[in-house]
Amino acid sequence: MDTPAPSDADLLAQVAAGDERALRELVERHWAWLQLRLRRRTPDDELAASALQDTFVAVWRSAGRYRGDGDVGAWLWGIAIRQLVSRLRARGGPRPVSALTAAALSPAVRSAEDELLLAVEHGDVGDALRGLSPELRQAIQATVVDGLTTREAARLLGVPVGTVKSRVRTAKARMRAQLLAGAANDGTAMEGWA
């Protein structure tokens, strides 16, 4: 009888105990989707690859810090996005995914999330997002695009929870105003946004 594969949480516990095979298993399970999500956040493949590699170095060093109160994938994504954000901050902020990078993902590989993110990035919402200051844009990306809680976003961005909430509220108001102004100029209605 086959033994069931260990859960991600079990693997993390084994990694915390120094088991390199458990780390390899985590890498095999999570590398591809983490890589795709990081590449959606930057057109620089080297930057994404570096952030991903350092993610698993951080997992090796800090697996014992996983409290077990959430999904391991979410915990890994939190580490990966922090790695990427620190690199982007050193470069002067996030840059949108290029059309070339988006086109490289064939329709068969793209998920519904990929399609939505591409539509948002290259549409009016993307323009409104790019019009925000880096601080406001990072707060919106962390909470809305990456789905982090305000507490997780605060840890990621190195600011208090109240600051994240304030930035998100301000960013939404500014984006709403820009979208409404654009709709008024185009003569289109934006029901539900007012």
Cα–Cα–Cα angle for 82, 85, 86, nearest 5°?
85
The structure tokens 């698993």 sit at 56
Q: How confident is the prediction along the chain (194 residues), in pLDDT tens digits per residue?
A: 677 888 999 999 999 999 999 999 999 999 998 998 888 777 788 999 999 999 999 999 988 888 877 788 888 888 898 888 788 777 654 444 444 444 444 455 455 555 555 555 556 777 787 888 888 888 888 888 777 788 878 877 788 999 999 999 999 999 888 888 876 765 554 454 44
CATH of 123-189, one of 3.30.1600.10, 2.170.190.11, 1.10.10.10, 3.40.50.300: 1.10.10.10
The residues spanned by each domain of the chain are: 1-106, 123-189
Q: Classify burial at 40, counting beta carbons within 10 Å of its beta carbon; exposed 0-12, middle 13-18, buried 19 or more.
A: buried
Give the fold, CATH level 3, of 1-106.
Rna Polymerase Sigma Factor; Chain: A (1.10.1740)
* Three-state SS at 66: coil
Residue 164 CA to residue 143 CA, distance in Å, equals 9
Please choose, from the candidates 78, 57, 61, the residue with its C-alpha nearest in 3D space to the C-alpha of residue 69: 78
